[in-house]
Structure 1
Amino acid sequence: MMDDDRLRAVTACEFCGTVAEFGAEFGAGLEAVGVPPAGDVALCAACRGDAPAGEGHWRCLEGAAWSDVPAVQLAVWRKLGTLDAPWAVEARENMVLEGAVLGWTEVLAGVVHRDSNGAVLAQGDTVVLIKDLVVKGANFTAKRGTAVRGIALVADNAAQIEGRVEGQRIVILTEFVKKR
């Protein structure tokens, strides 16, 4: 059962938005599903896997991925990882995960980002480029010694981070940075 402070969707599935009938604690057909370590999400029978759901049904995850509820984000990230469709892979890669959710996904995926010296990188760290990098498609070279503040970790790839250099958001290989 969801704690009062985690109670969010009492009449609609947190994945697909299917509106449940009024009356039951979580609405008829909705049940709280545990998403360790994040908490619970309220899901309909189709999203729980208790009723048939076609391939097209899971496109609802593209919208649910933008939820600001950590448990929903983690549940969507996990479900997208089980789907064998190009749109699902792309949706999972494009999810914007922050804070605890990003940490949970890294632990689940076994991904640890390390700089060129082996130091563990975390979301929001500042790194320094150790080599001039030609930025493809942006027509500039990111110079050695440039500080990149507030990096974002690529959830499924320990060799990549994202950051802003000269106003452009770019992907940087971790082998070319050191933690500041």
Structure 2
Amino acid sequence: MSIEEELKTRSGSKCELCQSSQNLSVFEVAPSDESSEQSIYICATCKEQIENPSMMDETHFNCLNESMWSEVPAVVVISYRLLKLLGREDLVDMIYMEDDVKAWADAGVNSSSNVVVKDSNGVTLNAGDSVVIIKDLEVKGAGFTAKRGTMVKNISIPQDVEGHIEGRVNGTKIYLKTEFLKKA
């Protein structure tokens, strides 16, 4: 039986992330030994967004709330990586993995340790930290103002935007300039 046939049977001919039944193919979860245990069966939409993180649509990946609980380690690993990439540390913290699966998942996560981001007081910020906004900030395009004193928890450090952090304010994921933040 080929890997694709095994995955088709395992997944019930549906994307193992979003449950779509359209344009399905095999996706190897690197580092992989090219086996069905280290591959998943996903749709073209999921595959395109995984391969091109700049095109990632967070609303499409609401499906990770379900797939992160899969009994298939490869599905859990890719769910973990995507949730980390989306800055959803709240969900990442809920995922249970055996030590070897956790090591596999972490092996594919891009580390932001080479980017040093500091708050307005010069204190180094790390992914997962909490910060406090020190000035009212109008959020363009979202129609609200992020008020001074607002706590932003579980921040992420974007690789592509220097001097900014990414976090959720009023349930909206936004970029914030570090000059208007202090570590909590």
Give TM class, smaller chain. Answer: 0.3 to 0.5
Rg: which structure is higher? 1
State the TM-score, normalizing by the size of structure 1. Answer: 0.47
State the TM-score, normalizing by the size of structure 2. Answer: 0.46
